[in-house]
Each structure stands twice: as C-alpha cells, then as structure tokens.
Amino acid sequence: MRFRHRAAALAATLALPLGGLVGLASPAQAATSATATFTKTSDWGSGFGGSWTVKNTGTTTINSWTVEWDFPSGTKVTSAWDATVTNSGDHWTAKNVGWNGTLAPGASVSFGFNGTGSGSPSGCKLNGGSCDGTSVPGDAAPSAPGTPTASDITDTSVKLSWSAATDDKGVKNYDVLRDGAKVATVTGTSYTDTGLTKGTDYSYTVQARDTADQTGPASGAVKVRTTGDGGGNPGGGDEVKLGYFTNWGVYGRNYHVKNLVTSGSAEKITHINYAFGNVQGGKCTIGDAYADYDKAYTADQSVDGVADTWDQPLRGNFNQLRKLKAKYPHIKVLWSFGGWTWSGGFPDAVKNPAAFAKSCHDLVEDPRWADVFDGIDLDWEYPNACGLSCDTTSAKNAFSSMMKAMRAEFGNDLVTAAVTADASDGGKIDAADYGPAAQYIDWYNVMTYDFFGAWAKNGPTAPHSPLTSYDGIPQQGFNSAEAIARFKAKGVPADKLLLGIGFYGRGWTGVTQSAPGGTATGPAAGTYEAGIEDYKVLRNSCPATGTVAGTAYAHCGTNWWSYDTPATVKSKMDWAENQGLGGAFFWEFSGDTANGELVSAIDSGLK
C-alpha cells in the first residue's frame, strides 16, 4: 500500500536519545526501597522527550509502581507509552501497565513521554515514598490476577475463574471487566456472567483491589464466544468485507472512528485493519502512541457520545474502536503491522520468527487494549523483492516461517497478510512461498491496485486497478484476474483470497488523449500528494468518462485519472463471487464519501 504514512503523524511520538541524564536523586539500599530517575531524551525547542526509570534497589519484589511528580505551569505531557500517565493540574501521575508492574530485586523498567514547555520535574514520589530510596515506598497496589479461564459456556452465559492476586495488605475484591467495562465486583476468584448474546465474541479481564482501595493492573484477557448462531453480518452473506483505518487519518484528514458510524459503513463491513504498527529491532512496536491510545475525544467526536476523561486508562483510536465494537458486535478488528513505509524491519525480524511473533502477540494482547483486537495482519512489502527498499537477505521460506510462528503464537485468533498482486513471470508473487504459507493464514489481502501510476511520469496512462488485461496494457501480469489465478496455481484456496479495491484514483497531467495509453508530463495535483486523489473528490472534480478493464477513467482538461466508482466496484464484486473468493477489502475508509458510497457498493455486491 503505497502511500501509507505521513511524517506529521509521527511527530508526536518519535524521539531520538540524546543522553543527558538528569537524576532526581541517587539510589540507596533498603529492604523494600526503590528509585525513580528522570532522563531528558531529546529537545526540539517547543517540546521535549522524557523517560523515567524505576529500579528496585531493595531485597523484596515490588508488585506495582506509581511515580508522581510536579511540572511548573506551562509544562505538560502530551503523549506517553509503557505507563498510564494522568494529571491533576500540574501534578502528574504514572502507573505501570499490566506487563511491567512486577520488579524483582535489582530489576528496572522505563517508560517514556513527549512533552511541551521547558520545565523540569520536581517533588518526585515513588509509591508514596521518596524517589531517591531514602524512605520506604508506601503501600503498593495489588499485583495482576492470573488470566481468567472460561468454562460452562452457553448461549447467554460463561463462568470465569482466575488465580488470586497478591498484596502486602491483602486483597479485598476483584473487578470483572467485559470488553473493558466493569460488569461485576466479587470477593472470590470466580464469576458467572449472564445475559449475553448467543454467537457473540467477548473479552474478559480482572483487576484486584486491596484493603486500601488501591486497584492493581488488569490481568491478561481471555476471549470467549458464546454458543449458538449470532447476528452475523447485518449486511448479509458470509464474505469478508474489510476496510483499512489509518491512525494518521485523525490529523489532516480529520477522519475518526465515529465517521464509520455517521457514514453508515459500520453496519456494512465485517472487519477493520488498523494501520499501522511498526516493525523495529525484530519486534512489533507502537506506530503512533498519541493517535493510537492517548488522543482525548470530546463527546461530539466520540462513537458513543461520551467524552474521554483525563484519568481514564485508554483513549485514542483504540478506545473508539472498543466503543465501535460494543455498538456493532459483528465487527472484528485486526492490528496491521508494516506497510509501505514500515516494511524495512521485516527482514531482520524474521531471522527469529518465534521471537518476532511473541513480541507481536505481547503488544496486540497488551491488557490495556487486548479486547479491542481479534488478530494480526502482516504487511511486508515485499519478501525477497523490492518495495520502498529491497529485501536481499531473507530465505525463500522466510514468509511461511513467519506466518507459521504467528499462527503458533496467536492460536485461534485471526492471522492475515497483505500481499503483492504482481503476477508477472518471475515477479513478486513468484519471489516468496505464499502457497505453503497459506495453511497458516485466514486470508490474504491481495493488493490489486497501484499497478500503474504517475511514478511513470510520462505515461502511458493506464488504470491503476485493472480487473483484467486489455489491449495496450503497459505490463503483462499487472491485473487482478492474473494475480488471483497465480495465487490459486500456487495452491492458495480461493476462499483465502480477498480482492483489493482502492478508494482513490491515480492521475497524470499534460494529457491530451482521452483513452488510456496517452502520454503525460507528470503527476496530476492531489490534495495530499501529487498523482493521487480520494474518490470523494474525483467523483465531483473529474467525473468518469469511460471504463477500461473494469475500472473507470476520466479525462478533464489536461488531467487523466483512473479510479473505481460504485458501478465498477459492483462489477468487481460480481467477479469475486464468481471466482469463489473469500470477499474483498479496501484501502482506506477516508477516501469514501460521507455517506459511504463505495462501502455500500461492496456490501451490496457481496450477497
């Protein structure tokens, strides 16, 4: 997917280490002592990056930690990771997340944040005591309970059981959370949840509360599907109808999860791929912390009309997706990693597939948002081939090794991949072992778009998403029909192939010829990038004047564009059904009209 990142989307989250340790105090040994030390990692004038390191300098295990400090007026945290950071005025509090609260003697953990202003932290407290280890930290919150197990599952109920949490003063009770919302408080270590909907997916976690009313971190999540036939897809049919939602869309595009509701698209899709997480240092990592889980939404921006609060543990797109799933329980959400810009980390990551898969599972199933995601999508562009960069080091079976490890780690959760549609002889489909890998995946998103575009600035003009070949096509094997046929020939079942639709057009300028095949002088102007424009703009600014190979094209003035319309999408869906494909997917929601014309065409076409 050729245009998936915007530098502006990263500005709030990426910071380069610069050293410069600013210790608030020096460590001191004590039986249960600990220290918290602040480091300013970067400074770009209007803001800075910071990191806190909590270290257990005592001889007994710490089960959770809370760091508090004060900033002078005008200095504040704008985004944070690996801790839940809140504030009351200029007083800031950071609590551990589920996976990093326990510190054995001598162990340490760090969390980071970006901030504005020029002030430095003061008045640091760690678990209520001094950050320099000279006083014993105060009463600690409980540990996380064990991940619940599910039993006695019926159409409308499920029994949950978990191992007890620990606390220095004793555990008083447990909160049971269903899909992130508290449904019960119990004193024992089991609970039966009733009144559920048959054939529906739920996710449960548990939190402990001690006698001082301190709440500890959430347990791991258990996913449960009640028995019986559920409501299924309100749009009808069993085919997958999947759209990509981009985290950077919340910036210049001003496109948010609520738009899926107001456009009517939410009731017509089955799956969402949330794009993107990054691949760095052999691991899956956060893509944009602010957009993903920190951005605060007002009531009018929120899916359920409820505003975010300063102290809630999860905000941003993740919380909005959680609310969307509560409103539309048929929707499944996958977290997509990689993409055109962030594919460069895959060759190193797949040198140790098992470790890579575990890192991805740990991130996707982080207790803060485990209930949001139903699986993972891997978007490596491209194994043993060239995309933004060229992969020259991976083994021929690297792709299948990666997918095998993902399946082993994710179990019954969804595991999918976005893959090339280059069906030319010796092309990108031939470069990797997509056939053997198919046994481990639920489906492939075949990227049947971006075949042609104004990166060839002088043309010839050609539809960027041709369904079939045609006389004069610039490159054989660059069309949807041949791509699908080649995957089938490699042993990929038809129902594991989704046809890709672009919700945008590709265009040239300096074109005098209306029919495809004309010469050009360069890319046509676009709102965000030259040579590309959203469907919602093109349908009015340059209406279609013809079709070629199942895709619309338009010649207006000296500009020539190709894009899909509701009519061509419908014809492609008919073709996909005739081929026995598993459904369709599209890149991406914000290119559609405010009333979801293209999503509606996919929905009505897959019946």
Q: How far is CA 261 from CA 111, 270, 304, 457, 595, in A?
A: 35, 13, 10, 38, 10
Residue 487 lies inside a defined structural domain of this protein = no
Compute the CA torsion angle 491, 494, 495, 496 (nearest 10 deg): 50
* Domain final residue, candidates 431, 449, 474: 431
Mean pLDDT lowest among 36-40, 262-266, 523-527: 36-40
Q: What is the mean pLDDT of residues 36-40?
A: 88
20 and 123 assigned to the same domain = yes
Cα–Cα distance measured from residue 436 to residue 400, given in angstroms and rounded to the nearest whole number: 6
Is residue 237 very low, low, confident or very high in pLDDT (cuts 50, 70, 90)? low
Strands (E), 179-331: 181-186, 190-193, 201-210, 222-225, 240-246, 271-280, 283-285
Q: 289 by DSSP, 3-state: which?
A: helix
Question: What is the pLDDT, as a whole number, of residue 222?
Answer: 87
What band does 28 get if pLDDT is binned at 50, 70 and 90? Answer: very low
Query: Tell me, what DSSP letter sits at residue 475?
Result: S
Residue 12 has pLDDT above 60, yes or no: no
Whether residue 510 contacts residue 429, with contact meaning beta carbons closer than 8 Å, is answered with: no
Q: For the segment 105-132, what is each residue's pLDDT rounded down to a tens digit?
A: 888 899 989 888 878 899 899 988 889 8
Q: Which of 38-42, 243-247, 352-356, 376-380 has the lowest mean pLDDT?
A: 38-42
- The 3-state DSSP class for residue 322 equals helix
Residue 269 sits in the same domain as residue 376: yes
Distances from the Cα of 383 to the Cαs of 338, 479, 528, in angstroms? 12, 20, 29
Do 54 and 93 have their domain in common? yes
Q: Are 261 and 362 part of one and the same domain?
A: yes
Whether 315 and 384 map to the same domain: the answer is yes
Does the predicted TM-score (pTM) go above 0.85?
A: no
The domain boundary residue, chosen from 225, 257, 283: 225
| Residue of 360, 410, 364 lying closest to 380 (CA atoms) | 360
The continuous run of DSSP H or E covering 114 comes out as strand 108-116
For the domain that residue 272 is a member of, what is the CATH number? Answer: 3.20.20.80
Q: Examine the pLDDT at 11 and tell me if it is beyond 80.
A: no
Whether the per-residue pLDDT at 2 is higher than 60: the answer is no
Query: If we measure between CA atoms, which residue out of 317, 352, 353, 312 comes closest to residue 335?
Result: 317
Higher pLDDT, 244 or 19: 244
Report the pLDDT value the prediction gives residue 306, as an integer from 0 to 100. 94
Q: Summarize pLDDT for 295-322 with one digit per residue, the tens.
A: 999 999 999 999 998 888 899 999 999 9
- Name the most confidently modeled range: 106-110, 115-119, 516-520, 603-607: 516-520
SS3 for 385?
A: coil
Q: Are residues 315 and 410 in the same domain?
A: yes
Q: What is the CA radius of gyration of the chain?
A: 26
pLDDT number for residue 229: 62
Does residue 500 fall inside a structural domain?
no
Choice among 21-30, 457-466, 512-521 with the minimum mean pLDDT: 21-30
pLDDT tens, 362-400?
Answer: 999 999 999 999 999 999 999 999 999 999 999 999 999
- Peptide bond preceding 3 in cis form (omega within 30 of 0): no
Instruction: Show the tokens assigned to 386.
Output: 């060239």
Q: What does residue 321 show for φ and ψ, rounded to 5 degrees?
A: -65, -35
What pLDDT, on a 0 to 100 scale, did the predictor assign at position 16? 30
252 and 213 in a common domain = no
Instruction: Please tell me the distance from the alpha carbon of residue 398 to that of residue 519, in angstroms, as a whole number.
Output: 40
Mean per-residue pLDDT for 169-177? 89
Least confidently predicted of 6-15, 160-169, 439-448? 6-15
Catalytic residue check, 381: yes
pLDDT at 232: 43
Residues 382 and 312 in one domain: yes
116 within domain boundaries: yes
Which has more confidence, 219 or 235?
Answer: 219
Q: Does a structural domain hold residue 540? A: no
Question: Could you tell me which of 54, 164, 63 has the C-alpha nearest to residue 104?
Answer: 63
Q: Do strands 283-285 and 271-280 pair parallel, antiparallel, or not at all (unpaired)?
A: antiparallel
* Cis omega (within 30 of 0) for bond into 482: no
The answer to whether residue 496 sits within a structural domain is no
> Is the pLDDT score of 158 beyond 90?
yes
Q: Which pLDDT score, from 0 to 100, does residue 50 have?
A: 86
Least confident interval from 135-144, 346-355, 469-478, 499-508: 135-144
pLDDT number for residue 202: 85
Whether the per-residue pLDDT at 21 is higher than 90: the answer is: no
Domain termination residue (choose one: 130, 157, 188): 130
Q: Tell me how long the chain is.
A: 607
pLDDT per position as a tens digit, 325-344: 999 999 999 999 999 999 99
* CATH classification at residue 12: 2.60.40.290
- Check whether residue 80 and residue 14 sit in a common domain: yes
**What's the confidence (pLDDT) of residue 345?**
96
Closest Cα to residue 278, out of 165, 360, 401? Answer: 360
> Could you tell me the CA-to-CA distances from 446 to 379, 436, 483 in Å, in that order?
11, 16, 8
CB atoms < 10 A from the CB of 164, how many?
14
Q: How confident is the model at residue 140 (pLDDT cuts 50, 70, 90)?
A: low
In a domain, 460, yes or no: no
Helices (H) and strands (E) in the chain, counts: 13, 32
List all residues 6 or more positions away from 419 whose beta carbon is below 8 Å from its beta carbon. 429, 434, 444, 445, 446, 447
Share of the chain above pLDDT 70, in %: 92
- Give the domain range for residue 173: 149-225
pLDDT above 90 for 485: yes
Residue 230 pLDDT exceeds 80: no
Task: Name the catalytic one among 239, 365, 381, 533.
Answer: 381
Q: Which two tokens stand for residue 347?
A: 């060759």
Q: Residue 212: which pLDDT band, with cuts at 50, 70 and 90?
A: confident
Q: Calculate ∠ Cα 298-302-306, nearest 5°.
A: 70
Dist. CA 521–CA 510, nearest whole Å: 5
Least confident of 159-168, 343-352, 422-431: 159-168
pLDDT of residue 138: 53
Q: In terms of domains, do 214 and 355 share one?
A: no
| Biggest CA-to-CA distance, the chain | 82
Q: What is the mean pLDDT of residues 278-286?
A: 96
Q: What is the CATH number of the domain that holds 180?
A: 2.60.40.10
Residue 72: both structure tokens together: 């002078």
Please check whether residues 61 and 192 belong to one and the same domain.
no
Provide the token pair at 105.
């003697």
Query: Is the dihedral angle over the CA atoms 422, 423, 426, 429 positive or is it negative?
Result: positive
Distance of CA 95 to the CA centre of its chain: 23
pLDDT at residue 277, rounded to an integer = 97
Confidence bin at 501 (pLDDT 50/70/90):
very high
- How many structural domains does the chain have? 3
Do 258 and 174 share a domain, yes or no?
no
Residue 373 resides in a domain? yes
End-to-end CA distance of the chain: 27
Place of tokens 């001690």: 210
Residue 234 has pLDDT above 60, yes or no: no
Q: Could you tell me if residue 185 is inside a domain?
A: yes
Residue 142 pLDDT grade (very low, low, confident, very high; cuts 50, 70, 90): confident
